[in-house]
Amino acid sequence: MLIDLPISELSEKLRSKTVTSVDIISECYDQIEAHESKLNSFITLVDRETAIAKAKAIDETIATHASPLAGIPYVMKDAYLTRGVRTTAASKILDSFIPPYSATVHRKLEEAGAILIGKMNMDAWGHGASTENTDYGPTKNPWDQERSAGGSGGGPAAAIAARFCSFGIGEDTGGSIRNPAAWNNISAMKVTYGRVSRYGAIAYASSLDTMGPTAKTAQDCAYVLETIAGVDPYDATSSPKPVPPYTKEIGASSKGKKIALPSEFFGDALDPEIKAAIMEAREVFESAGAEVTEVSLPLLEYGVPVYYILAPSETSSNLSRYDGVRYGGKRSLFTKENKRRIMTGTYALSSGYYDAYYKKAQKVRSLFISEYTKLLSQYDAILSPVTPIMPSKFGELLDDPMKNMMADLYTVTVNIVGLPSLSLPCGFGKTNLPIGMQLVGNMFSESTLFALGHTYQQKTDWHTRQPTLVSSK
**Residue closer to another protein, measured from CB, 317 or 458:** 317
Calpha distance 137→294 (Å, rounded): 42
Among 235, 264, 271, 396, binds another protein (CB under 8 A): 235
> How far are the Cα atoms of 104, 309, 422 from residue 239, in angstroms, in the given order?
14, 26, 19
**Residue closer to another protein, measured from CB, 215 or 319:** 319
Active site residues: 77, 152, 176
**Residue closer to another protein, measured from CB, 98 or 269:** 98
Calpha distance 397→236 (Å, rounded): 36
Calpha distance 105→209 (Å, rounded): 14
Calpha distance 450→286 (Å, rounded): 17
Q: What's the closest the beta carbon of residue 318 comes to another protein, in angstroms?
A: 9
Q: What's the closest the beta carbon of residue 465 comes to another protein, in angstroms?
A: 35
Q: What's the closest the beta carbon of residue 191 comes to another protein, in angstroms?
A: 17
Three-state DSSP class for residue 390: coil
Q: What's the closest the beta carbon of residue 207 comes to another protein, in angstroms?
A: 4
| Nearest of 160, 166, 207, 164 to residue 184 by alpha carbon | 160
Query: By rule CB under 8 A, what string of x and - marks binding of each residue 374-403 to another protein?
Result: ------------------------------
Q: What's the closest the beta carbon of residue 103 comes to another protein, in angstroms?
A: 6
Calpha distance 232→234 (Å, rounded): 5
Number of residues that bind another protein (CB under 8 A): 40
Query: By rule CB under 8 A, what string of x and - marks binding of each residue 236-255 to another protein?
Result: xx------------------
Sites for another protein among residues 307-326 (CB under 8 A)? 313-314, 316-317, 319-321, 323, 325-326
Calpha distance 179→130 (Å, rounded): 9
Span from 110-118, 203-211, 256-264, 376-384 in contact with another protein (CB under 8 A): 203-211
**Residue closer to another protein, measured from CB, 207 or 466:** 207
Three-state DSSP class for residue 38: helix
Ranges assigned E (strand) in 366-450: 381-385, 421-428, 434-440
| Nearest of 384, 194, 187, 379 to residue 303 by alpha carbon | 384
Examine residue 198 and tell whether it contacts another protein (CB under 8 A). Answer: yes
Amino acid, res. 68: P
- Which uninterrupted H or E stretch holds 369? helix 360-376
Q: What's the closest the beta carbon of residue 198 comes to another protein, in angstroms?
A: 6
Q: What's the closest the beta carbon of residue 113 comes to another protein, in angstroms?
A: 23
Query: By rule CB under 8 A, what string of x and - marks binding of each residue 78-117 to another protein?
Result: --xx-----x-x----x--x-xxx-x--------------
Q: Quick one: how far is CA 215 from the chain centroid?
A: 9
Calpha distance 309→304 (Å, rounded): 9
Sites for another protein among residues 205-234 (CB under 8 A)? 205-207, 233-234
| C-alpha triplet 99, 104, 107: angle, nearest 5° | 80
- Note whether 102 and 110 are within 8 A (CB): yes
Binding site for another protein (CB under 8 A): 80-81, 87, 89, 94, 97, 99-101, 103, 198-203, 205-207, 233-237, 313-314, 316-317, 319-321, 323, 325-326, 346, 349-351, 354, 358
